[in-house]
A = this chain, B = another copy of it.
Amino acid sequence: MKEIPDIIIGRLPVYLRALRHMRSQGKQTTSSQELGEQVGVSAAQIRKDLSQFGEFGKQGTGYNIPFLVDKLREILKVNRAWDVAVVGMGDMGHAIARYQGFSDRGFRVAMLFDNDPAKIGQQLGEFVIRDTRELKAAIQQAGIRIAMLCVPATAAQDVANQLIEAGVRAILNYAPINLSVPAGVRVQYLDPSTALQRMTYYIK
């Protein structure tokens, strides 16, 4: 398969989210125009992005929503449930561990870790919080490829290194720090301050 620019890959989950929302409202078809308005992308861009992966719409009738949802889930490999490890059981890790929005989008929290003796062994939902020292062996054994990093910034790189050694290939980083990772490992950042700073520039 030819290499698709990451900027396009990055838009597909946003399309998928909007299409699932339309489907939940009972809609059966949509147009690149309508989808574009929902997600703030031009209709031409949406057609171009989707055309990288095949022929999904028909001139005049538009896109069949359930079909396109299935296709996008397949392309993004979320037509399955990925086990995810969560490291760091502070407020944010707690919120993530209890978050209800993963299960129908391809993910399942599978393991929780912390290095605080007061937290280790505690029950959180259906899981017992495990010692970060067990992280490498446990993740390796379970074959987990995805982790969410909710530790303090000072610990993030060290924990990331352990995750990667254990086989993790995708890290969602809540710590407000850039991670150095080898080729073949992906990182996405969910840092609220950085996201806010992207908007203040525009406030008059």
Contacts and interface: CB of A to CB of B under 8 A. Distances in A.
Question: In which size bucket is the chain A interface?
Answer: 35 or more
Contacts of A202: 9, 169-170, 186
A142 interface: no
Interface string A185-204: 01011111111111111111
Contacts of A194: 13-14, 17
Contact of A101 (B82, B107, B172, B176): B176
Q: Count identical subunits in the complex.
A: 2
Interface in A143-188: 145-146, 148, 153, 169-170, 172, 176-178, 180, 186, 188
Contact of A106 (B94, B191, B196, B204): B196
A40 B14 CA distance: 23
B195 A188 contact: yes
Nearest to A77: B200
Interface of A: 9-10, 12-14, 16-18, 21, 37-40, 75-78, 82, 84, 90-92, 94-96, 98-99, 101-102, 105-107, 145-146, 148, 153, 169-170, 172, 176-178, 180, 186, 188-204
Given A101-B193, A105-B197, A107-B193, 5 more contacts: A17-B178, A91-B98, A92-B99, A170-B200, A188-B199
Closest 3 CB pairs of A and B: A170-B199, A13-B197, A91-B95
